[in-house]
Structure formats: structure tokens, C-alpha cells
């Protein structure tokens, strides 16, 4: 209904039949009843996203739930379970007010009006689609639990990255177990970059919400849109159908990974021809149709999404009878794997074709700077390649601890994406790997240095001191192009930088085995 009040209008509507809002023409949201939001999953997506919602919506109660007691205890402590610039301040400002962290999953789900689901969607390791398809075991389990404990109508929001048509499967589970309760399913994929997640949440490029094109679906979309509208301009909140929202997330990650593989493929050609990949990328990025972002050559991309989402995309294409499209996206992964292998081969061939018994300092283990996340980090494959040639590794990363590094180097592929309690509890300690908490300790008496994460501190190390304390000849293999290669060469280092003109030492040595 509408009432004209001082050139404003007021109307009322209900959130899935339970929570009433009053909304003014100035986009001011006033709740006539307190709304409660719950997020299942207290990981890299659920924790930061809910913290920012709590910060920007002080009139909404937000609960983050997880079955991992250790993780929830960490969220309630002074040392959060994940490192993300700005996250600590946001959590501490809201925790104990309208933001809570709990292991009482069923209680908070039952009490909530909107339930975000941000659970693991690992790549299947066996059965149909093994190595490509997403394993939706945890999603299905969450959906069945929601249906079981719900006593009132709910909006269920996909926050995990999921295959297209997952919402349809979840909808079927909920409706066939609904006991007369109304469930509306929305897809609200995250587009966060780790290291800048809080600023991405506070000032997003876009918020994407997909739902059914039915009256109930549109009401659910509007209800979630109004949560984000507390701080996100309405023109940045995109509303689509369910399938478009689900596919947009996979497509965005595939396009970004494709750009990285493209510039990395060019880096190999640059080394072969004497071109400089940084200059090539700068020239290409000046084309307004292309732009400069994601054109930094490196040892390869990592993170929890790129490889997993592309493999998922490949599987969906194959299932839909599109083998040529599947092959196209497979090549993005192949180039990424090739780049890591090429980097290891450069190290081994440069050091007299063997690193057996030699100390190699590894600077950086996280997949990018400003995060402690090691999921699918290129460092894992590079370290395993060097260990395979019997190198002795000394690893330093400012945000990754010894237990995590040992776990990553001993786990099987894709194990990392299962909940912590289902991962190997006591991974075997990897022989010939030490983890230290200082770059100078890592590099002392080393034969070579591998820079695998672009932490700012690695640009400003005292490389003269490092050179003096290393075995000679002393090598630097810069997998992120963070150091000034010419300055290091003047000190006496033999330097290999991805995609840059080769050091004379390296020119006649093969880049591939």
C-alpha cells in the first residue's frame, strides 16, 4: 500500500511471509520486526561477508555457525582463524553486539529468516566426474538440516561457488521435506579477492542476486537486495535468474584465470625471444578493450576458486555435449601447470642440473600477498618438484605457519577443500623441509632463493647481506617479478625473473625437461 508523506511514499511488504519492513522513498529501510541472518560456514567467505553485513546493518542480528569448535573459538578470540587486512577491526566492532559465532548450528538456522550457505564444494576425487565435478555432499547435508529444523519460512542463499542448476537440486530437497514451510532459493555468489576482501565487501563492483522469476522469488530477491542496499548503491545490485547468477561466478573466475594463463604463456615466449613480459603486458593493457588488470606474469595462479571452478566448468560443458568448449577451458589449467613445471625446470637446469642436497630458500608460501591462504598455491607444486629432486627447503612466509605448510605438502590433491575435521589430522612431516620465521634465516647458507609470493617485504630485504651469507654461485629465481634483477646482478646474484630477458648464465639452458 502507498501513503504520500512529504513527497515520500511508504509501502509495506513481508519477507517470505514472516518479517515486515517499512520502506521509504529515500531507500531508507526500517524494520518493524528484527531480522535474523545466519551463515552456515565460518570460512574465508562466510566470516568476512557476515562481519561486513553486521557492520553495515546494525539492526540485523547476524550469526555465523560452523561445526568446527576450533574455528568458532578462533572467531571468538583475539586471533581470528584467517588473516585479511581490516577484518580484525570489523569483527571486534560488531562481535557481542549484532554479530555472533557459534557451533549451535541448528538453533541459529531455526531462528533465522535468511540462511546463507557457505560450505565446502570440493572437487570430487572418485566416482562420476572425478577430478572435475563439484562434490555437493556438504551442500546437500546443509539443505536437509535446514529442512529438518525450520519452523518458519526462510530464504536460503547459495554463497558457495556451485555448479549451474545446483539451486534446482537444493530446491527439490527443501520442498520435498518442507512440512508446509516456504523456502525461497537465491544465488548470491561472492566476488571477493583475498587480501582486499573487506574493501571489496564495503565497496563492491557489483552484488549479484539470482532467483526464481515468480512472485515469491522476486520478493525474496527484493528482501536480500534491501540488506545490501544499506550500503551498496542500488544500481550496483544486479538481479538475474538463478542459472545466470550461478554461471556468472564460474564465468568470472574462468575469465580471470584465462588472462593469467595468457600472460604466462607470453612470458615463456618472451624468455625465448629476449622480450620483456612486463613491457609487453603494459603495452597490451593500454588497449582500453583489454585493460591492465590481471596481466602480471608469475609462477602461476592459485587460490581456492580458479582451478576448481574451471574444472567444474569443463565438466558442465562435457555433460552438455560441448567438448570443444570443454577443451578450450582445459587449456587454461594446462598452461598454469606448465608454468609451474617450467619454473622448477629452470631452477634445476640452472644449478648444474641437480638440486640434490642443496638448500633452497623459499620466500612466500601463500598463493598471494596479504593473505594466509595456501589453497592451490603454486608453492605446493614448486616445492614438491624440488623435493622430488632431493632439495632441502627452508620456507618462510609471514602469515603461514609450519603446521599448515607441512599439511599442504603432505596432503593429496583436493583434500584441502574438505572440512578441517575430515582432512588428515596428523599429516606426515615432509622430510628435508624446515619452516622458519625470518627471511635471513631461510636464506643463510642457501644455494638459491625462490620467491613464490609477492609480499612487499621481499622487495626491501638486504640482499647484499643475504648474498654474503649464501653459497656461491648464488641464485635468485623470482616467480613474482618483485625484485630489481639488475641491482641483484650487480651484487653478484644469478637472477631468473619470469618472462624477462635471460641472465647470460641461463641462455643456453632448457626451460622444459
In the CATH hierarchy, which fold is given to the domain comprising 276-508?
Answer: Rossmann fold (3.40.50)
pLDDT of residue 199: 95
Nearest to 119 by CA among 42, 52, 60: 42
**Residue 477 among known ligand-binding residues:** no
pLDDT of residue 128: 81
Please tell me the pTM assigned to this model: 0.84
Taking residue 32's Cβ as centre, other Cβ atoms within 10 Å add up to 10
Catalytic residue among 39, 239, 305, 450: 305
**Residue 305 among known ligand-binding residues:** yes
**Residue 388 among known ligand-binding residues:** no
DSSP per position, 182-226: -EEEEE------TTSHHHHHHS-S-EEEEE-SSHHHHHHHHHHHH
**Residue 306 among known ligand-binding residues:** yes
Q: How confident is the model at residue 157 (pLDDT cuts 50, 70, 90)?
A: very high
Nearest-angstrom CA–CA distance, 45 and 311 = 20
Q: What is the pLDDT of residues 452-479, one digit of tens each?
A: 999 999 999 999 999 999 999 999 999 9
Segment 235-264 shows an average pLDDT of 94
Burial class (CB in 10 A: 0-12, 13-18, 19+), 99: buried
pLDDT above 60 for 229 = yes
pLDDT of residue 502: 92
Segment 35-43 shows an average pLDDT of 94
pLDDT of residue 305: 85
156 half-sphere exposure, CB direction, 13 A CA radius:
32
Nearest to 195 by CA among 430, 371, 69: 371
**Residue 428 among known ligand-binding residues:** no
pLDDT above 50 for 32 = no
Nearest to 210 by CA among 225, 200, 195: 225
3 forms beta bridges with 10
Q: What is the pLDDT of residues 110-132, one digit of tens each?
A: 999 999 999 877 777 788 888 87
Q: How far is CA 338 from CA 195, 245, 277, 416, in A?
A: 26, 32, 17, 22
Residue the block writes with cell 561477508? 49
Mark whether 305 is an active-site residue. Answer: yes
Segment 188-210 shows an average pLDDT of 93
Evaluate whether the domain defined by 2-232 bears CATH number 3.40.50.720.
yes
User: Where in the chain are all domains bearing CATH 3.40.50.720?
Assistant: 2-232, 276-508
Q: How confident is the model at residue 482 (pLDDT cuts 50, 70, 90)?
A: very high
pLDDT of residue 162: 67
Q: Which has the minimum average pLDDT: 77-81, 177-181, 244-248?
A: 177-181
**Residue 264 among known ligand-binding residues:** no
Nearest-angstrom CA–CA distance, 112 and 35 = 8
Q: How confident is the model at residue 176 (pLDDT cuts 50, 70, 90)?
A: confident
pLDDT above 60 for 215 = yes
Q: Where are the beta strands (DSSP E) in 296-439?
A: 359-363, 392-396, 433-435
Segment 219-224 shows an average pLDDT of 95
Segment 93-120 shows an average pLDDT of 95
Contacts with 343 (C-beta within 8 Å, 6 or more apart), sequence order: 299, 300, 382, 477, 479, 498
Contacts with 493 (C-beta within 8 Å, 6 or more apart), sequence order: 463, 467, 474, 475, 476
Q: What is the pLDDT of residues 286-304, one digit of tens each?
A: 999 999 999 999 999 998 8
**Residue 120 among known ligand-binding residues:** yes
**Residue 190 among known ligand-binding residues:** no
**Top mean-pLDDT range of 19-23, 346-350, 504-508:** 346-350
Q: What is the pLDDT of residues 422-450, one digit of tens each?
A: 555 555 567 889 999 999 999 999 999 99
Q: How confident is the model at residue 163 (pLDDT cuts 50, 70, 90)?
A: low
Nearest to 391 by CA among 359, 353, 427: 359
Amino acid at each position: 500500500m502507498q501513503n504520500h508523506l512529504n513527497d515520500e511514499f511508504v509501502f509495506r511488504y513481508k519477507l517470505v511471509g514472516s518479517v515486515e519492513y517499512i520502506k521509504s522513498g529515500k531507500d531508507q529501510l526500517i524494520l518493524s520486526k528484527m531480522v535474523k541472518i545466519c551463515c552456515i560456514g565460518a570460512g574465508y567467505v562466510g566470516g568476512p561477508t557476515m562481519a561486513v553485513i553486521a557492520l553495515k546493518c546494525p539492526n540485523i542480528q547476524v550469526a555465523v555457525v560452523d561445526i568446527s569448535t576450533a574455528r568458532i573459538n578462533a572467531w571468538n578470540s583475539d586471533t581470528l582463524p584467517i588473516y585479511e587486512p581490516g577484518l580484525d577491526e570489523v569483527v571486534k566492532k560488531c562481535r557481542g553486539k549484532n554479530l555472533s559465532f557459534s557451533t549451535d548450528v541448528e538453533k541459529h538456522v531455526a531462528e533465522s529468516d535468511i540462511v546463507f550457505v557457505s560450505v565446502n564444494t570440493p572437487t570430487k576425487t572418485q566416482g562420476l566426474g572425478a577430478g572435475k565435478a563439484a562434490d555437493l555432499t556438504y551442500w546437500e547435508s546443509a539443505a536437509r538440516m535446514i529442512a529438518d529444523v525450520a519452523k518458519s519460512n526462510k530464504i536460503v542463499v547459495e554463497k558457495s561457488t556451485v555448479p549451474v542448476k545446483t539451486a534446482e537440486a537444493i530446491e527439490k530437497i527443501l520442498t520435498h521435506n518442507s512440512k508446509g514451510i516456504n523456502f525461497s532459493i537465491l544465488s548470491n555468489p561472492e566476488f571477493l579477492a583475498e587480501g582486499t576482501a573487506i574493501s571489496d565487501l564495503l565497496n563492491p563492483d557489483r552484488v549479484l542476486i539470482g532467483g526464481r522469476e515468480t512472485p515469491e522469488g522476486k520478493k525474496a530477491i527484493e528482501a536480500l537486495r534491501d540488506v545490501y542496499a544499506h550500503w551498496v548503491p542500488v544500481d550496483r545490485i544486479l538481479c538475474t535468474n538463478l542459472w545466470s547468477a550461478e554461471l556468472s561466478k564460474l564465468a568470472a573466475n574462468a575469465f580471470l584465470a584465462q588472462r593469467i594463463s595468457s600472460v604466462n604463456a607470453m612470458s615463456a615466449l618472451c624468455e625465448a625471444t629476449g622480450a620483456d613480459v612486463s613491457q609487453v603486458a603494459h603495452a597490451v593493457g593500454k588497449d582500453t578493450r583489454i585493460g591492465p588488470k590481471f596481466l602480471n606474469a608469475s609462477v602461476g595462479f592459485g587460490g581456492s576458486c580458479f582451478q576448481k571452478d574451471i574444472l567444474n566448468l569443463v565438466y558442465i560443458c562435457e555433460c552438455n555435449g560441448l567438448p570443444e568448449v570443454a577443451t578450450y577451458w582445459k587449456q587454461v589449467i594446462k598452461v598454469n601447470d606448465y608454468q609451474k613445471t617450467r619454473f622448477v625446470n629452470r631452477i634445476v637446469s640452472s644449478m648444474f642440473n641437480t638440486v640434490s642436497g642443496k638448500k633452497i630458500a623459499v620466500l612466500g608460501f601463500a598463493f598471494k600477498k596479504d593473505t594466509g591462504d595456501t589453497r592451490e598455491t603454486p608453492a605446493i607444486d614448486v616445492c614438491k618438484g624440488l623435493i622430488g629432486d632431493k632439495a632441502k627447503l627452508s620456507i618462510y612466509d609471514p602469515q603461514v605457519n609450519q603446521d599448515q605448510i607441512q599439511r599442504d605438502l603432505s596432503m593429496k590433491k583436493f583434500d584441502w577443500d574438505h572440512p578441517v575435521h575430515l582432512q588428515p589430522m596428523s599429516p606426515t612431516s615432509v622430510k628435508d623441509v624446515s619452516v622458519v620465521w625470518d627471511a635471513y634465516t631461510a636464506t643463510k647458507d642457501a644455494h638459491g632463493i625462490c620467491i613464490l609470493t609477492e609480499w612487499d617485504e621481499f622487495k626491501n630485504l638486504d640482499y647484499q647481506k643475504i648474498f654474503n651469507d649464501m653459497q656461491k654461485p648464488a641464485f635468485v629465481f623470482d616467480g613474482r617479478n618483485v625484485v630489481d634483477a639488475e641491482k641483484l646482478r650487480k651484487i653478484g646474484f644469478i637472477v631468473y625473473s619470469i618472462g624477462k630477458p635471460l641472465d647470460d648464465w641461463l641462455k643456453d639452458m632448457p626451460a622444459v625437461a
